[in-house]
Amino acid sequence: MKLIDFDKRFSDYINQWVKEHKDEYKNFEAMEQDMPNVYMQFLNTPAAWLQGVTPGAYFTQFDDCKELVDWMRAYTEKKVPIPAQLLDRIVEVGIPCEKRLVLLLKDESAPLEARMTAIGLLREMESTAPRALYIEWTKNRKEKDELCDNALESLHQMGRDVVKQLTEVIGGATRAGQEAILDVLSDYPGSEKVFGIALALFKEDKKKRAVLAGYLGKLGDDRALPALIEAAEDEKLPYLDFIEVRNAIERLGGDAPEREYESDEGYDALQRMQ
């Protein structure tokens, strides 16, 4: 498989096009506005470097999922920009490529870019094939994890289809995993178990009170009000966190305490913006 740098080829095409057409424009801005049309010309012009095939049609010649996905991975391994047309072709082939993309996700030796791209492609295909894998990752996730952050977007997209499974695993998840799961489940209130975990985390983790207050507000259970009000009265609560806690209190029908802030970085920054 050839790893053709389509970005470089387009750059060469643009440079030549500018030389030939620069006198047709009054200024650079006018020329820049025409770039989408130039790109379409590039895609639809037969290219000698593709043996006469147009760049836009090149990857449509291929429909073997293993070849297409392995091709995408090879681009990342060689640090050559992945052609958008290759990604479009994988999505176009669709469901037959799901299995190969999930295998790539499971391969921890694969480049992070390839796995991240695979998540994006599966999400674009609205695939549920990696659901169990994403839930497992989220359950066991560490504090900072780009791959899990990307997978979490897909769990959000899957919506109610993942609520039951996430509710089942949240109790045994890592602390970071529980917070990530709450990010999804707070959109689907009603579980006593989920509310209990959200409230416990809010009481335990003062550094995350802003985001956890947001989850409590969305869960809609006013039993969280005493803990939220106590936090709002905490003299050490930063102003930006106070705003989120206050919003949660008001969302649950409570009355937030009045506070005055002086010499708070967040408060001062907001004042300067006004």
pLDDT band at 28 (very low <50, low <70, confident <90, very high): confident
Cβ burial, residue 211 (10 Å; 0-12/13-18/19+) = middle
Domain termination site, one of 94, 128, 162: 128
63 belongs to a structural domain: yes
Of 113, 120, 170, give the one whose Cα is nearest residue 140. Answer: 170
Percent of the chain with pLDDT over 70: 95
The token pair at 250 is 């008001």
Residues 137 and 168 in one domain: yes
25-34, 102-111, 112-121, 149-158 — which is least confidently predicted?
25-34
Residues 111 and 230 in one domain: no
Q: How many CB atoms lie within 10 A of CB 196?
A: 13
What does the DSSP 8-state code read for residue 236?
T
Residues 90 and 137 in one domain: no
- CA 262 to chain CA mean position, Å: 36
194 belongs to a structural domain: no
Residues 11 and 57 in one domain: yes
Residues 67 and 169 in one domain: no
Residues in Cβ contact with 240 at an 8 Å cutoff, skipping those fewer than 6 apart: 210, 266, 267, 270
Helix, strand or coil, per DSSP, at residue 155: helix
pLDDT value for 267: 52
The token pair at 19 is 């030389």
pLDDT in tens, 41-87: 999 999 999 999 999 999 999 999 999 999 999 999 999 999 999 99
User: Please, what is the Cα angle at 259 between 215 and 209, to 5 degrees?
Assistant: 25
Q: What's the domain count of the chain? A: 3
31 belongs to a structural domain: no
196 belongs to a structural domain: no
Expressed in angstroms, the distance from the first to the final Cα of the chain is: 56
CA gap 86, 238 in Å, rounded = 48
Domain termination site, one of 128, 147, 177: 128
pLDDT value for 162: 98
Residues 211 and 274 in one domain: yes
pLDDT in tens, 156-215: 999 999 999 999 999 999 999 999 999 999 999 999 999 999 999 999 999 999 999 999
Domain termination site, one of 188, 210, 237: 188
Residues 116 and 143 in one domain: no
pLDDT value for 261: 78
Residues 72 and 4 in one domain: yes
Q: Domain of 151? A: 130-188
193 belongs to a structural domain: no
Q: Is the pLDDT of residue 27 over 90?
A: no
195 belongs to a structural domain: no
CA gap 184, 219 in Å, rounded = 11
Of 248, 259, 258, give the one whose Cα is nearest residue 226. Answer: 248
CA gap 153, 120 in Å, rounded = 9
Residues 139 and 98 in one domain: no
pLDDT in tens, 206-233: 999 999 999 999 999 999 999 999 999 9
pLDDT value for 231: 96
Residues 19 and 101 in one domain: yes
Residues 124 and 134 in one domain: no
Q: Mean pLDDT score of the chain, rounded to an integer?
A: 94
Between 235 and 216, residue with greater pLDDT:
216
Q: Is the pLDDT of residue 274 over 80?
A: no
Residues 51 and 112 in one domain: yes
pLDDT value for 259: 84
56, 59, 65, 68 alpha-carbon torsion, rounded to 10°:
-100
For residue 149, give the H/E element and its range. helix 146-158
pLDDT value for 264: 61
72 belongs to a structural domain: yes
8-22, 89-103, 164-178 — which is least confidently predicted?
8-22
180 belongs to a structural domain: yes
